Structure 1
Amino acid sequence: MSTELLPATGPAGSADVEAVIVGLVQGESAPELADGAAEVAAAFGEGRLIELLSAVGATGKAEEIVKIPTGGAITAPLLVAAGLGKPVDDGDRAVLAERVRRASGAAARALAGKASARNTLGAIDAAAAGEGSVLGAYTFSEYRSSDGKAPLSRVEVDGDAAAIERAATVAAAVVAARDLINTPPNDLYPATFAERAAALATEAGVAVEVLDEKALADGGYGGILGVGQGSTRPPRLVRLTWSGGDAPRAKVALVGKGITFDTGGISIKPAANMDHMTSDMSGAAAVIVTTVLAARLNLPVAVTATVPMAENLPSGSAYRPGDVLRMYSGKTVEVLNTDAEGRLILADAIARAAEDSPDLLVEVSTLTGAQQVALGMRTAGVMGSDELRDRIAALGRAVGEDAWAMPLPEHLREGLDSRIADIANAASARWGGMLSAGIFLREFVPAGLPWAHIDIAGPSFNSNSPWGYTPKGGTGVPVRTLAALLQELAEA
């Protein structure tokens, strides 16, 4: 269950909550209180709150959490000081917002087991404080027999009520994506994934179309069928459409990779960490919830998500290295590696999505291990048309979902030449694997259509300890980036 987010009313010192969150900034010799904390600090007496926090070791370091009892100085029995790090230039709003988002997330996570809190960091950035609070409090406990400490259930945030309301809606979409990603593959497979996507869409008034294996065969979706043929659980193609209201200002195609589990197929992966492949449908989860989010925000942008779903397993019926698949577009692909399966299902989906004549197309996928090698586990690689690529990378950084623009060098195309087909699904050279995958996808994008490919192999899933507002497991990246893009288009 998502944490409830509410605009704060009345002074923080008299709020009917179990804890009040204040921000601390690293000073030269001692921590300093951030904006929004003055009224609470005054209740402790002049200079007294900083003295107490310093006495227990608070420094204001980014994401540092220090708790002290209030001793009746304010109504809440507990005060939580969340570190914001070193001072940030007021002009750098994106950096400051992300500091607030992470500090709020760390504080919310530290308050597990509490029912309510007041977050004064909203005085700095209400939307960031709200998003950080909800996303930091997130836990996935559906499969635990004992829930342990319940997540913080309610947060009141200082600041603009409209910004907080929107933050609650956006954060709820990210939570929905995380829930899908964290659902294990024995329960989330193509048919059930399609059902859950349809349920989310229908509730928000989004139109749904689901193609089963027979419809896929009739339609000539050779890539999706080829990847999915090794599993007893057949593939699906889901299409969700938000109309954009009476006068949509743009028409956007979203495509997301929905491999519900990836063993690598015949080109099987190593056993170590294969369980992380439960997250290989993160791109699909992101575009599904983003389309639903567009409807919930009533954005004047028409959005259609085209989502291929398959399970990539080795069996007697699995596709093989050496097979040639005829794709939805009519092109043929020689399969050199069955673990390069995501690009095959995406090629079919991209070609289908382009038939709707969108103004732009954005595709999201956990596509390559090479993305992790190049950019690490927190930075997405963005490829595609120069202008849209750069725009999305900048939006990602602005909302705290780090992204970096990457090229599609023409000399890498010859590495995808096939001996017998139009193109091969894997490059002959080891180097530049993230870029070669992007070049493969470009082959299925019509000339002149602005498009972008976001490789989220690293940032989609956190296998390490939680940090900021990022939990262990599915992260929901890049839902907030896509939401920012749609918002820009709505305001254009």
Structure 2
Amino acid sequence: MAVSFEHRRTVPAGVDVVVVGVPSDRLESAGVPVEALTGQGFEGKVDQVATIVRDDGTTQVFVGVGPSAEVDVLGVRRAAAIAARACARRRSVALTLPELLPTEDRVAAIEAIVEGSLLAGYRFVRYKSDPSPVGLERLVLVDGTSVDGDDREAAVQRGRRVAEAVALARDLVNTPGGELTPALFAEAAVEVAERENLQVTVLGPDEIAEAGLGGLLGVNRGSTNPPRFVELTYEPDDPQGSLALVGKGITFDSGGLSIKTAEGMMTMKDDMGGAAAVLGAFSALAAVAPRCRVSGYLPLTDNMSGGDATRPGDVLKIRNGKTVEVLNTDAEGRLILADALSLASEARPDAIVDLATLTGAVEVALGNRIAGLMGNDLHWIDEVRAAAERVGERVWPLPMPDEYRPRLDSEVADLRNISKTKDAGTITAAMFLREFVGAGIPWAHLDIAGVAWWGDAAEADVSPGGTGWGVRTLLELARTFRSES
């Protein structure tokens, strides 16, 4: 992400393209005859793009942003991403997009433009023998207001750091499971911690056994790659409260002995999307400067079907002492999260949020653009939802009715790892996790199985593959977190 950003009050000479945001009710503001735009079918609707070459040879790209009254920071962010895609082969681009918003919103707009334009340029080309070059090198932010230069530069840097954090999560998800082993994921976490001056602890197999993380050990039994458990801590001076982030880290999921189909395995390198999002967020915490202490818990293993893999009917003992009858080894994520939530609870944080590519059922219910949100505290659920909405990551709350809880009762252990019925799979999975959250601790669960992977054509700031979903939500949640104690 070597694109440079600069500020100008007017469009400078010599740029390859000038990008203009056009509200649907203000086509005349584009500065060209309306007929020149409407002749291309351009009406200023969101995501519409039209290109015009002026008589003087200047190329202008017009991006629709919808009704002017509805344009906000997120809309400008999306417009910047659309523009960056449209200009991907150009070297220098001037964007007048900040001027779509009132002066008081310009700093936020600049941050959003930087973030959106950088993420639109994301490509995972590690394994390409001849990756296609991306030409964009210079972005000029055109803003005629007197926004303080330090504020503007800080906004640029925050936007860049957030984009880099999302890109890190995407890189992790896109890396094949045969390469990104638990050990290498843990090494990546240590690199982030050393660079960002975070506290980090990595547990290997012996330490995991000593810690009583039976869920993690049980899932790992079929693998030749030893597990890891990573703890990260960000601690500001005089921390105001504490927040725990937990991420599911299945580096590849074959389903274990309850093996998936070949098609079902094709994207299972994304089953560590929750852990990737947590690590991505930690890589940029300093940029958003939370006032709270933030702890991260990453249980890492793949789920394979080796000779001593956990069998259906086996019983595992989780860190908090509860026992689980494993009746489907493909419901493994909740087993490693049970250990992580137990450990997180022992530190008595003011709140916990976990992210997990947990159930296929959530994708059936909500598709690939909305994550499922559940929890044990309505106020905390509302805070998580509000944070996600502010950064444009959509969530939808689902209930956890008590009458569903008996579906997890086991005849031989405290719990079974799957419901007795085939319906409400997302809800009963969350209810299973709730059993491992300490009493009195607000907890929220984000099921990101649908949103962690983008299988459609590139759109705005999202490319096919890992999305890095959740990084922005976690950063916003940490930035705004206030303890009520």
How does the TM-score come out when normalised to structure 2?
Answer: 0.92
Superposed displacement of residue 300, structure 1: 2.1
**Secondary structure in structure 2 of the residue aligned to 1:362:** strand
Match of 1:470 among 462, 479, 482: 462
| Per-residue deviation, residues 436-460 of structure 1 (Å, max 9, x unmatched) | 0110000000110011101111111
Matches within 5 A, 1:196-215: 196-215=188-207
Asked if the contact 1:206–1:295 (Cα under 8 Å) also holds between the matched residues in 2, the reply is no
State the match for 2:419 in structure 1. 427
Tell me which residue corresponds to 2:16. 18
CA contact (8 A) 2:346 2:438 kept: no
- Trace 1:371-450 onto structure 2 (pairs within 5 A): 371-384=362-375, 385-450=377-442
Indicate which of 119, 134, 146 corresponds to 1:150: 134
Change (3 A) 1:277 1:88: farther
Shift of 1:15: 4.9
Equivalenced residue count is: 467
Matched, 1:179 2:171: yes
Aligned: 1:130 with 2:114: yes
Q: Secondary structure at the match of 2:460?
A: coil
Alignment of 1:252-267 (within 5 A): 252-267=243-258
Letter in 1 for 2:5: L
Q: What are structure 1's unaligned runs of at least 5 residues?
A: 42-47, 91-95
Q: Which residue is equivalent to 1:230?
A: 222
In 1, distance between residues paired with 2:401 and 2:2? 45
The separation in 1 between residues aligned to 2:388 and 2:424, in whole angstroms, is: 22
What are structure 2's unaligned runs of at least 5 residues?
A: 102-108
What amino acid maps onto 2:64 in structure 1?
A: G
Residues 52-86 of structure 1: CA distance to partner in whole angstroms, max 9, x if unpaired? 3333332222112222224437xxx4221112134
- Residue 93 of structure 1 is matched in structure 2 by none
**1:8 partner SS:** strand
| Corresponding residue number in structure 1 for 2:274 | 283
Report the Cα offset of residue 389 of structure 1. 1.0
Task: Indicate the SS of the match to 1:305.
Answer: strand
- Counterpart for residue 115 of structure 1: 91
Query: Deviations along 1:411-458, whole A, 9 cap, x unmatched?
Result: 111000011001011001111111101100000001100111011111
| Counterpart residue number, 1:104 | 80
RMSD: 1.9
1:269 positional shift: 1.2
Change (3 A) 1:267 1:129: same
Whether contact under 8 Å (1:351, 1:445) holds in the other structure is yes
Question: Distance between the aligned counterparts of 1:475 and 1:415, measured in 2?
Answer: 33
CA contact (8 A) 2:372 2:398 kept: yes
1:126–1:158 Cα contact (<8 Å) kept: no
Q: Shift of the alpha carbon at 1:180?
A: 1.1
CA distance in 1, matches of 2:328, 2:28: 56
Answer with 411-420 or 61-70: which moved more: 61-70
- 1:245-281 alpha-carbon deviations (Å, 9 max, x no partner): 2111121110000101111111111211422111111
Query: What secondary structure, in the 3-state scheme, does the structure 2 residue paired with 1:272 have?
Result: helix
Structure 2 residue identity aligned to 1:9? R
Identify which of 62, 67, 74 aligns with 1:81.
Answer: 62
The Cα offsets for residues 280-305 of structure 1, whole Å up to 9 and x where unpaired, read as: 11100111121221134333221110
In the TM superposition, residue 472 of structure 1 has moved relative to its aligned partner by 1.0
Q: Which amino acid aligns with 1:31?
A: L
Contact 1:242/1:292 (8 A) holds in 2: no
2:31 is aligned with 1:31: no
Give the letter for the 2:323 counterpart. Answer: T
What percentage of aligned pairs have identical amino acids? 43
**Matches of 2:138 and 2:189, distance apart in 1:** 27
Quote the Cα distance in structure 2 between the aligned partners of 1:131 and 1:32. Answer: 29
Listed as ranges, the matches of 1:265-344 within 5 Å are 265-344=256-335
CA spacing shift, 1:129–1:432, aligned 2, 3 Å: same
Going from structure 1 to structure 2, the CA distance change for 1:151 and 1:210 (only over 3 Å counts) comes to: farther
8 Å Cα contact 2:242/2:483 also seen in 1: no
Is the counterpart of residue 485 in structure 1 residue 477 in structure 2? yes
For 2:444 and 2:135, how far apart are their aligned partners in 1?
A: 36
- Residues 186 and 230, structure 2, Cα contact 8 Å, conserved in 1: yes
Counterpart-to-counterpart distance in 2, 1:404 and 1:7: 38
Query: Could you tell me the TM-score, scaled by structure 1's length?
Result: 0.91
Q: Which amino acid aligns with 1:425?
A: N
The one-letter code of the counterpart of 1:8 is H
Over 3 Å counting, the alpha-carbon distance change for 1:262 and 1:151 in structure 2 is farther
Cα distance in 2 for partners of 1:438, 1:32 equals 52
- TM-superposed CA distance for 1:403, in Å, is 0.6
Alignment of 1:85-96 (within 5 A): 85-89=66-70, 96=72
> Structure 1 CA distance, aligned partners of 2:2 and 2:398?
36
Partner of residue 451 from structure 2, selected from 459, 481, 489: 459
Query: Cα–Cα, structure 1 residues 393 and 5, in superposed 2: closer, same or farther, change >3 Å?
Result: farther
